[in-house]
């Protein structure tokens, strides 16, 4: 379970969400961050960041690139 808040940048192309989620490895709530970037009319990128359980430093945990065909069909 996660709970957070987000904001859209001035270009309206990057949504950043800061949230807290329960880490099963550390067995406690940890701060996390997620960005959704509109790269083009047919592509968006979701990136999820969180603290390393070893160092505590923020790192990129996952990246998903969403692409639809040029016709716009699902």
At 18-50, the pLDDT tens digits run 999 888 888 889 899 999 999 999 999 999 999
Q: Where are the beta strands (DSSP E) in the chain?
A: 2-8, 14-23, 28-40, 43-51, 58-67
Query: 39 in a domain, yes or no?
Result: yes
Query: 49 in a domain, yes or no?
Result: yes
Residue 43, domain extent: 2-67
Query: 74 in a domain, yes or no?
Result: no
Q: What is the pLDDT of residue 74?
A: 54
Residue with tokens 């940890």: 30
> Contact at 8 Å (CB) between 22 and 5?
no
Q: What is the pLDDT of residue 23?
A: 84
How many structural domains are present in the chain? 1
Query: 73 in a domain, yes or no?
Result: no
């Amino acid at each position: 379970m996660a709970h957070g808040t987000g904001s859209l940048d001035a270009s309206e192309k990057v949504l950043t969400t800061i949230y807290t989620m329960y880490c099963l490895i550390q067995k406690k709530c940890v701060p996390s961050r997620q960005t959704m970037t509109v790269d083009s009319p047919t592509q968006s990128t979701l990136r999820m960041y969180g603290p390393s359980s070893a160092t505590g430093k923020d790192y990129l945990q996952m990246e998903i690139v969403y692409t639809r065909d040029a016709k716009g069909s699902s």
